[in-house]
Structure 1
Amino acid sequence: MCAVIFRIAAFIYMFDVASAQEPGSTIDYQPVWSYDDEANWPGRHCREGGRRQSPIDIKTSDVVHDFTKQFIKYGPLQFTGYHKVLVSGINNGHTIQFSSEGEEAIHPVLTGGPLKYLYRLEQLHFHWLSEHSINGVKYPMELHFVHVRADLTVYEALGKRDGLAIVSVFGNVQAELDDYQQEASELMQHIPKLLKTGDRISGVLLDMKKLLSPNRESYYTYSGSLTSPECNEAVIWIIFDSPIFLTDAQYRLFGKVGVGRHNFRSLQKLKHHVVFAPAETKLHMPQIVLFFEDVIRVISDFFTNVGTFMSNGIQTE
């Protein structure tokens, strides 16, 4: 089994230190894998597929409203300590990532919903376009809050079906935002400092609760995998259906981030996936805001050679 080092000093993007670096070694921030070459990603599950690979297209007609508490057994989601989070930021060549700083005991924690255990927040990162889609429709952005089960080491968590919990928040884009849509404004002031691979900042205090969905009672959830090498099937996904908003100018800024043409994994074939939703929640149908033509041009390169996921549905692994 190829060694995956999940946490080394700066906690490099969702396990992409799969190049098996040892603790204490010098970290090379140049990508060791590419979104343009998924067939050669490290990790057997990445190359050969598995039973529950992610991301997927979520068909709302197939979502199971969990009246019998088959999967969502543990009450409302409970987010603790997200109001003021000390983080460091880095452009690791695949995304911009903000990692929790300080002792694990002071990290924000999440429990409830489908989560039997307590999970500590390790980092937040971004994908543009979104990785998951809803009824074949992708959002301009998807934020991932990556958590590790608090009673496990990181290495142990990667081998457990519920070792990790990733909270996903879609990002929508419009020309101007109302006062109540300023969720990302605090975060966005730091993005210009992280445009080049290897750029980093530290000592940043973020109110991450603002970046969570405005409706945290309405979500999809399923057992899946990491969407980057080594694609471990160790993730409970919690995907809010109500997005946060960015202005078109804020979104254009991500087009300047030096991570290549795009940074989302292709949609995976449905196998043993079952997507649940809270029993009494009325899910919102996705509404993608139409925005300026120049923003369309910014994201057009992302689609080059990626495939027509909108028309072809879910891609094979």
Structure 2
Amino acid sequence: MSVCRLQLIASLMFFELVSSNLYKEPLWNYDDETNWPGLNCKEGGKRQSPIDIRTTDVIKDYTKKFIKYGSLKLNGYHRVLVSGINNGHTVQFSTEGEEAIHPTVTGGPLEHRYRLEQLHFHWLSEHSVNGNKYPMEIHFVHVRADLAVGDALGSKDGLAILSVFCNVQAELDDRQEEASAEIMQYIPKLLDTGDRISGVLLDMTKLMSPNLGSYYTYAGSLTSPECNEAVIWIIFDTPIYFSDSDYRKFGKVGVGRHNFRSLQRLNHHLVFQPVDSHINTPQIVRIFDEAFKMFAEFFRNINAFMSNGLRTS
């Protein structure tokens, strides 16, 4: 494993490795955020995460100020080779094998291509919407493919995290059952800190939101030490579902009392949303556009009339 890969594990995957490859206890915990390592964690910054997303303040991005690069494009998420670990903070599945075969995402607010490094779970959700939290939030953590890890952690768009909310209900339909079963077969094997499994093939499309075209996005930070302000967040607003019995199994995972960072004070946060395809032009713009077309047609008719008149005179 390369030095960069080890750095990425340490910085993004929330656990430490010692030289003997034995697991050691985490150096920070969610019960005492004031002692997290990193200046941004201790004192806050300009774009810390997570936040409460107030839908009345969300900006529909008609002018493509932030969502500049078309539709989101996800590649290679159907069959992903991963290893799983209970790292003392969460259950996490990290991509294995050559980087060239890792899933990637681009488009939307993402100018560059981003490579998936891992996914992990928070219960309750870290972000909230209008003050309401979901039972769970899945984070798909990506690093910019054209940057070394250290450079990515220091760049304002070095990381991209796709976030999927999870809801809980008593009974699931067939599609919801498939999504739940895709991951729940492995959770009982990762209940204790340090538990590991490898050689797992995940169809991550089953853990993605069913509506990838509808999301909130903003420039924020990691929600774990050192809280680097290097993340473009893409938070899908349509959740997936787990059964009540499956959700209860996460309560048996040994990660302490809870595993979500507290909501951060809004500062330089602007939250954007893509414009729906059927209203991709604001009403006032459409009115002026139609008026312009009417005037253009009127003057074309006048010119045609004048031309015919001149020919017949």
**Alpha-carbon offset, residue 31 of structure 1:** 1.2
Structure 1 equivalent of residue 168 of structure 2: 173
Structure 2 equivalent of residue 14 of structure 1: 12
Gaps of 5+ in 1: 283-317
1:13–1:97 Cα contact (<8 Å) kept: no
Higher helix share: 2
Number of corresponding residues: 275
Structure 1 equivalent of residue 65 of structure 2: 70
**What is the SS of the residue equivalent to 1:184?**
helix
**What is the SS of the residue equivalent to 2:111?**
strand
Q: 1:149 aligns with which of 144, 150, 159?
A: 144
Separation in structure 2 between the aligned mates of residue 29 and residue 75 of structure 1, nearest angstrom: 44
The residue type equivalent to 1:188 in the other structure is M
Q: 1:234 aligns with which of 223, 230, 234?
A: 230
Deviations 1:43-93 (A, max 9, x none): 000000000000000000000000000000001000000000000000000
2:216–2:273 Cα contact (<8 Å) kept: yes
Separation in structure 2 between the aligned mates of residue 197 and residue 281 of structure 1, nearest angstrom: 46
1:29–1:93 Cα contact (<8 Å) kept: no
What percentage of aligned pairs have identical amino acids?
A: 69
* Superposed counterparts of 1:49-60, under 5 Å: 49-60=44-55
The residue type equivalent to 1:66 in the other structure is D
* Larger Rg over CA atoms: 2
**Alpha-carbon offset, residue 28 of structure 1:** 3.3
Distance change in 2, residues 1:125/1:40 (3 Å) = same
Structure 2 equivalent of residue 197 of structure 1: 193
Distance change in 2, residues 1:232/1:34 (3 Å) = same
Q: TM-score, normalised by structure 2?
A: 0.84
Separation in structure 2 between the aligned mates of residue 200 and residue 10 of structure 1, nearest angstrom: 18
**Alpha-carbon offset, residue 280 of structure 1:** 1.8
Separation in structure 2 between the aligned mates of residue 70 and residue 198 of structure 1, nearest angstrom: 44
Separation in structure 2 between the aligned mates of residue 9 and residue 229 of structure 1, nearest angstrom: 13
The residue type equivalent to 1:130 in the other structure is S
Gaps of 5+ in 2: 279-313
Distance change in 2, residues 1:29/1:10 (3 Å) = farther
**Alpha-carbon offset, residue 209 of structure 1:** 0.8
**Alpha-carbon offset, residue 12 of structure 1:** 5.4
Separation in structure 2 between the aligned mates of residue 10 and residue 102 of structure 1, nearest angstrom: 15
Separation in structure 2 between the aligned mates of residue 281 and residue 134 of structure 1, nearest angstrom: 23
Distance change in 2, residues 1:163/1:185 (3 Å) = same
**What is the SS of the residue equivalent to 2:222?**
coil
Q: TM-score, normalised by structure 1?
A: 0.83
2:265 is the counterpart of 1:269: yes
**What is the SS of the residue equivalent to 1:8?**
helix
Separation in structure 1 between the aligned mates of residue 166 and residue 4 of structure 2, nearest angstrom: 26
**Alpha-carbon offset, residue 10 of structure 1:** 9.3
* Superposed counterparts of 1:1-317, under 5 Å: 7-8=5-6, 11=9, 14-17=12-15, 26=21, 28-182=23-177, 183-280=179-276
